[in-house]
Amino acid sequence: MQPPVCILFLLISCFHLSSSTRTFDAIFNFGDSLSDTGNFLIANANAFPAPNIGNTPYGMTFFGHPTGRCSDGRLIIDFFAEAFGLPLLPPFLSRNQSFARGVNFAVTGATALDVSFFEQRGLGGMLGTNLSLNVQLGWFEQLIPSLCNTTEGHSSLLLLLLSMRVDCRKLFSKSLFLVGEIGGNDYLVPLTFHRLTEEQVTAYVPTVVEAINNATERLIELGAVNLVVPGNPPSGCFSGILTMLNGTSKRDFEHDTGCLKKANDLLKYHNRLLREEVVKLRRKYPHVRISYADFYKPIIRFARSPGKFGDYPSLKACCGGGGPYNFNIQALCGLPGSSACANPSAAMNWDGWHATEASYRQIAASWLHGPYAHPPIMSLMKD
């Protein structure tokens, strides 16, 4: 029997570390809008029109102003940093920041596959950014010399590995690496904006999973020992997907959640393949500790039992421009015509695409302590 959601919420009070565990010296995060702490906003500082996530009410719950996070407050990665006694991760593209305790490479709109994959198939037009997972890994490799005092200017990964000093390996062995969540945009952009069928998008799920697996292995080769590989959330439960891919019959929706079945089936398939690859990596690298973090089940629990989470409808966005799910592509959160609900902490869904701080708090607890990370992330720190 799984613990009730309220217990997961209480686990957040247990984030302090016991004397039997060690802490991480740094966190390095790769991903998309579910963990971006400002890179997209910095990269698009001169864009017109300006990104909606740079406007209020983004950030209203915790920071009091927009930070580039796609939520009303903190994200899962923020709760991790707090749990390990580290500063909130600065975005890589920020200036005058210290990256000694970690850095965030995640970018809103990022894909696991390079943009060229989509452009070759006529699907590149609606992608939010060209800063894919591979680009983010390139940023990390560029940063290594400054983190570890290695010689700069390596033309290959092999030369970089050969030059890495002992202190660099030591730092990475005591750091936490998060590879995702990422991959959702690879599927949802073709589904929603290009109207590809579920079958067409499903065909390249193995390619997306392979890209995530390759990125994880690349980090292991660079010295990562403690890694978290999150799966994808059930995006069929978010109001943006429910609105843009609105079903026409009851068969299109899950009977127990009201979520869109075809979107969730696709992401369940992705998660199954990804988890299988994590198992293979553990066997290949027995000295490495890898946690698979389940993003799917906690949100499904919220959708099935909205009363246990808050009194706001679980499938309705807190911030939006109206409609059955409070989502309007012409009046996105942060744009004229939209408004936020009075109490985001009672809502699961923030803006139609992303969750609220309250949701992320509970998911973070369930990954740190279980039951939705395998093994729980706190167990990675045991000597």
The single residue listed with the structure tokens 């990804």 is 274
Of the candidates 238, 214, 16, 254, the residue with the CA atom closest to the CA atom of residue 132: 214
Catalytic residue among 35, 36, 132, 354: 354
Signed CA dihedral, 292, 302, 64, 129: sign only: positive
Of the candidates 204, 186, 206, the residue with the CA atom closest to the CA atom of residue 128: 186
Contacts of 340 (CB under 8 A, 6+ apart): 57, 60, 72, 318, 319, 333
Signed CA dihedral, 281, 282, 286, 289: sign only: positive
Pinpoint the alpha helices (H) of the chain. 5-10, 39-43, 76-83, 115-119, 133-148, 157-163, 166-173, 184-192, 198-202, 205-221, 239-244, 261-284, 296-304, 306-309, 357-369
Query: Which tokens in the block code for residue 4?
Result: 């009730």
Find out whether the peptide bond into 49 is cis, omega within 30 degrees of 0. yes
Q: Measured between alpha carbons, how far is residue 66 from residues 56, 121, 319 in Å? A: 6, 35, 14
Active site residue 163: no
Q: What angle do CA 249, 254, 259 make, to 5 degrees?
A: 95
In order, the DSSP letters of 141-161 are HHHHHHHHTPPS--SSHHHHH
Catalytic residue among 36, 72, 78, 351: 351
How many C-beta atoms lie closer than 10 Å to residue 382's C-beta? 11
Active site residue 354: yes
Query: Which tokens in the block code for residue 365?
Result: 């607890």
Q: What angle do CA 255, 347, 9 make, to 5 degrees?
A: 95
30, 133 contact by CB (below 8 A): yes
The residues annotated with a catalytic role in the active site are 33, 351, 354
